[in-house]
Amino acid sequence: MKTIPLILLGCGGVGRQLIQHIVSCRSLHADQGVRLRVLGVSDSKTLLAVSNVSTAELDDGSLLEICRVKSRGSSFTALAGFGEFQVFTDLEVIRKVLDSAMLLGRSAGLALVDCSASSDTLKVLNQVVDLDCCVVLANKKPLTAALEDYDKLVSNPRCVRYESTVGAGLPVIASLNRIISSGDPINNVVGSLSGTLGYVMSEIEEGKPFSEVVKVAKALGYTEPDPRDDLSGMDVARKGLIVARLLGWRINLDNIKIESLYPEEMAPDKMPLEDFLTTGVSSLDESIKERVEKASQNGNVLRYVCVIEGSRCEVGIQELPRNAPLGRLRGSDNVLQVYSRCYKDQPLVIQGAGAGNDTTAAGVLADILDLQDLFP
Ligand SMILES: NC(=O)C1=CN([C@@H]2O[C@H](COP(=O)(O)OP(=O)(O)OC[C@H]3O[C@@H](n4cnc5c(N)ncnc54)[C@H](OP(=O)(O)O)[C@@H]3O)[C@@H](O)[C@H]2O)C=CC1
Ligand SMILES: N[C@@H](CC=O)C(=O)O
């Protein structure tokens, strides 16, 4: 039986769902001859990990209890004395991850799985890459950091997977990689890549207020921890950048033209999230309703679109015919149209649920399993 030892960073909506998937797929994975050995799980403050990473693992009871505690909103300290694990805080967290990577990297192997929404994980991810470990990301931020950090992170492509960063569980990165490695030049990519903005746009067409549907999108697990990451277009820009860099573009986030749905004075550094959700977002209801109605009078709908073409990478609202491929999208579905030599007149189209904890965590799990040939 193959074993994949892993440490999970981030135990929010996606991280917890990943743990649930790992536990519920035990017998499926056993039939496939592979076992996922979870050595540790962290949130923003604490890492719970086994002391002997060469032989031990967090048992399923402990993993499920970790999920229960975090979904109640409690901290990991509520688990003191529950299972056979040690508690690491502050600098000890990185030390434990790096010690594990040093010990396992060249023998049993280690996958560091980033389901956080933090930029702070970049350093440890790059350190474990240097130690011959694998990394799997749902978190877009490390991949959208400065080019030199990105280059380092993806320097050993066989050991890096990040399918869930674009289109959640949809096979976007894998499909693009196949086209690229076959020498088929990709000329143009157009997509609707935000589950949140897709959901928001199609719900306001039904007459619901913007502020209300933003809150529902958050409750459904579609938004980033701060939904302004979605509404500013920044989350889509990150996905655009990940795709553009995969296509070989040497660009950074500030080379992307981004349209925000809220004014500068509501930005995270100027308005607390709570104020944005209680008063800020509802002050936008009327202007967004007018924009949607104007498009509707022209027989059109509004969609938030990402375009990567020529030397242009931009994300913003477009008014599109209701029956256009992007206009027909409903709910949190994403669509990506890829034009290349082989897909010249009719694009390759990848479409389906593009957000949500279940599909995102399923994408992360599939990425981990995809690495199995690198493990003994
Ligand atoms: N939901 C979706 O549809 C999709 C999400 N993603 C990505 O998945 C990631 C997770 O999203 P989601 O689960 O919704 O986010 P949550 O906010 O629910 O969870 C984030 C988790 O990361 C932890 N965390 C924060 N900083 C660090 C850190 N420095 N080290 C380790 N852990 C940290 C948080 O800790 P604490 O609990 O202490 O706050 C929390 O447990 C995001 O990057 C998101 O963009 C990607 C595709 C789709
Ligand atoms: N917040 C994102 C989640 C997936 O990346 C979205 O709405 O698409």
Separation of alpha carbons 56 and 153, rounded Å:
28
Nearest to 203 by CA among 288, 279, 277: 288
The whole-angstrom separation of Cα 310 and Cα 187 is 7
CA–centroid distance, 193 to ligand 2, in Å, is 8
Residue ranges of alpha helices (H) inside the chain are 13-24, 26-31, 60-71, 91-104, 122-130, 147-153, 172-181, 195-205, 210-219, 228-231, 234-246, 273-275, 285-297, 357-370
Question: pLDDT tens, 287-307?
Answer: 999 999 999 999 999 999 999
For position 366, what pLDDT does the model report? Answer: 98
d(C-alpha 96, C-alpha 107), whole Å: 17
With a cut of 90, say whether residue 129 has pLDDT above it: yes
- pLDDT recorded at residue 30: 98
Residue of the CA atom closest to atom 33 of ligand 1? 44
Distance 181 CA to ligand 1 centre (A): 31
**How far apart, in whole angstroms, are the C-alpha atoms of residue 371 and residue 334?**
26
Contact 221 CB / ligand 2 (< 6 Å):
no
Tell me the average pLDDT of the chain: 97
Angle between helices 210-219 and 195-205 (to 10 degrees): 140
Is residue 79 pLDDT above 90, yes or no? no
To the query of whether residue 218 is one of the catalytic residues in this protein, the response is no
CA-atom Rg of the chain in angstroms: 21
- Alpha-carbon distance of 262 to 116, in angstroms, equals 25
For residue 70, count other CB atoms closer than 10 A to its CB: 21
Q: How far is residue 354's CA from residue 189's CA, in Å, rounded to a whole number? A: 16
Give me the pLDDT at residue 335, please.
98
354 lines ligand 2 (CB under 6 A): yes
User: What is the per-residue pLDDT across 95-105, written as a single tens digit (0 to 9) for each?
Assistant: 999 999 999 99
Ligand 2 centroid – CA 149 distance (Å)? 23
Q: What is the mean pLDDT of residues 4-14?
A: 98
247, 189 Cβ separation under 8 angstroms? yes
- Ligand closest to CA 239: 2
Considering the candidates 208, 239, 270, 289, report the single residue annotated as catalytic.
239
Residue 331 known to bind ligand: no
Q: How far is CA 180 from CA 117, 235, 340, in A?
A: 28, 24, 10
How is residue 107 annotated by DSSP?
T
CA–CA dist 169, 358 (Å, integer): 9
Atom from ligand 1 closest to the CA of residue 229: 45
- Does ligand 2 come within 6 angstroms of the Cβ of 15? no
Q: Is 327 annotated as a binding residue?
A: no
Annotated ligand binding at 11? The verdict is yes
> Closest-lying ligand to the alpha carbon of 41?
1
pLDDT value for 211: 98
DSSP, res 192: E
Ligand nearest to the CA of 168: 1
Nearest-atom number in ligand 2 for the CA of 138 is 5
Ligand 1 pocket member 116 (CB < 6 A): yes
Question: Which of 181, 221, 182 is CA-nearest to residue 199?
Answer: 221
> pLDDT of 324-374, one tens digit each?
999 999 999 999 999 999 999 999 999 999 999 999 999 999 999 999 999
Q: What pLDDT score does 83 carry?
A: 80
DSSP letter, residue 169 = T
Query: Is the model's pLDDT at 80 over the cut of 90?
Result: no
60-76, pLDDT tens digit by residue? 999 999 999 999 999 88
196 lines ligand 2 (CB under 6 A): yes
Tokens of 278: 């209680």
Q: Whose CA is nearest to atom 1 of ligand 2?
A: 223
Is the shortest distance between the CB of 367 and ligand 2 below 6 Å?
A: no
How far apart are the C-alpha atoms of 240 and 243, rounded to whole Å?
5
The protein residue with its alpha carbon nearest to ligand 2, atom 4, reads 355
User: How remote is the C-alpha of 359 from its chain's centroid?
Assistant: 11
- Residue 181 is encoded by which pair of tokens? 């490695």
Would the CATH topology of 2-168+358-374 be identical to that of 182-353?
A: no
User: Is 207 labeled as ligand-binding?
Assistant: no
Whether the per-residue pLDDT at 126 is higher than 90: the answer is: yes
Is the CB–ligand 2 distance for residue 195 below 6 Å?
yes
Distances (CA, A) of 282 to 272, 277, 288, 376: 15, 8, 10, 54
Cβ(14) – ligand 1 distance below 6 Å:
yes
Nearest residue to 203 via CA among 301, 325, 317 = 301
Domain boundaries, the chain: 2-168+358-374, 182-353
pLDDT band at 81 (very low <50, low <70, confident <90, very high): confident
State the DSSP code for 155.
Answer: S
Q: Please check the confidence at residue 84 and state whether its pLDDT lies above 90.
A: no
The backbone region for 91, taken as left when phi is positive above 0, alpha when psi lies in -120 to 50, beta otherwise, is alpha
Asked whether residue 269 carries a pLDDT value surpassing 90, the answer given is yes
**DSSP summary character for residue 260:** -
**How close is the Cα of 140 to the center of ligand 2, in Å?**
10
**CATH of the structural domain 2-168+358-374, one choice from 3.20.20.80, 3.30.565.10, 3.30.230.10, 3.40.50.720:** 3.40.50.720
Collapsed DSSP state (helix, strand, coil) of residue 283: helix
* 3 CA to centre of ligand 2 in angstroms: 31
User: Is 195 one of the annotated binding-site residues?
Assistant: no
Q: Quick one: pLDDT band at residue 131, thresholds 50, 70, 90?
A: very high
Q: What is the mean predicted confidence (pLDDT) over 261-279?
A: 97
pLDDT at position 85 is 92
Alpha-carbon distance of 85 to 88, in angstroms, equals 10
What is the spatial distance between Cα 163 and Cα 371, in angstroms, rounded to a whole number? 12
**pLDDT band at residue 254 under the 50/70/90 scheme:** very high
> What is the model's pLDDT at position 264?
97
Q: Residue 206 pLDDT > 90, yes or no? A: yes
182-353 classified as CATH 3.30.360.10: yes
- The C-alpha atoms of residue 159 and residue 142 are separated, in whole angstroms, by 15
Separation CA 276–CA 285 (nearest Å): 13
Model confidence at 82, pLDDT cuts 50, 70, 90, reads: confident
Which ligand is nearest to the Cα of residue 195, counting in written order? 2
Which atom of ligand 1 lies at the shortest distance from residue 118's CA? 26
